[in-house]
Chain A
Amino acid sequence: MNLFRFLGDLSHLLAIILLLLKIWKSRSCAGISGKSQVLFAVVFTARYLDLFTNYISLYNTCMKVVYIACSFTTVWLIYSKFKATYDGNHDTFRVEFLVVPTAILAFLVNHDFTPLEILWTFSIYLESVAILPQLFMVSKTGEAETITSHYLFALGVYRTLYLFNWIWRYHFEGFFDLIAIVAGLVQTVLYCDFFYLYITKVLKGKKLSLPA
C-alpha cells in the first residue's frame, strides 16, 4: 500500500467521522442530504459483501466494518434520532436518476458477470455520483455550514488521492482497474467546482455561500 492510498483512506474516514460528530454534537442534521447518506450506505453494503468471501488484511477488514457501521449510524441519526431537524424539503434530488442508470451500467460494463462482481461494479459507479443530492441541496439553499464544507472537502480529497494512488500503482506495479479509475475521475471532477469555492471562501474564514 502506498502513501496516497493510505492518506486517501484516512481522509475518507475523517470525512465520515466529521459528519457523524457534527450531527451528534449539534443534535441536528440540518443541511445534510439524507439521500446522499443512504446512497453511501448502499455503496458500502454492495461493495463490502466480499467481507464474507475474501480475506485481504486486518486493515482492510477493519476499515470496511468501520465504514459500514458509521454510514448506517449516520442514516439512523438523520432518519430516526434527529429526524425533526432533517431538511427534507430541500433534499429533493431524484435518486432513481442515479440508481437506475448506474445499476444498468454495472450489468453492461463489469470485470466479470457474477452477482458479487456486478454489485461491486454498481457500488463503484454509484459512489461516483452519490454526492450529487448533497451538492444539489447546497446549491438549492445557496449555502453550507463550515463543517459540512469540511466534510465535502475531505470526501473530495479522498478520491483525488486515490487517483494518485492509481497512477502510482500503474507505474510501479503495472496494476490498473479501468472501472475504478474512470468512475474515480468522474467522482473527482464533480468535486472540482466545490474545491474552488472551498479554497476561495471557507479557508478564508467565510461561510460557503453561493452567488445569487
Chain B
Amino acid sequence: QDTILTHDEL
C-alpha cells in the first residue's frame, strides 16, 4: 500500500 510507505507522520 502506497499510503503506508509514504510515512507522513514524524
CA distance A5 to B10 in the complex (A): 9
Q: Is A67 a contact of B10 with CB atoms below 8 Å?
A: yes
Interface 0/1 of B1-10, CB less than 8 Å to A:
1011111111
Q: How far is the CB of A66 from chain B (nearest CB, A)?
A: 10
Q: Determine whether A40 belongs to the interface, using a CB cutoff of 8 Å to chain B.
A: no
- Complex formed: what's the CA distance from A1 to B9 in Å? 9
Q: Which of A144-166 contact B (CB under 8 A)?
A: 162, 165
Least CB distance from A208 to B in Å reads: 28
B residues adjacent to A (C-beta < 8 A)? 1, 3-10
Tell which of A12, A67, A120, A162 touches B7, judged by Cβ atoms closer than 8 Å.
Answer: A120
B10 touches A9 (CB 8 A): yes
A residues near B10, Cβ cutoff 8 Å: 9, 12, 60, 63-64, 67
Contact sample, A vs B, 25 pairs, CB 8 Å cutoff: A5-B9, A9-B10, A12-B10, A47-B7, A50-B7, A54-B6, A54-B7, A56-B6, A57-B8, A60-B8, A63-B10, A64-B10, A67-B10, A111-B1, A111-B4, A111-B5, A112-B5, A117-B5, A120-B7, A162-B9, A165-B9, A175-B3, A177-B4, A177-B9, A180-B9
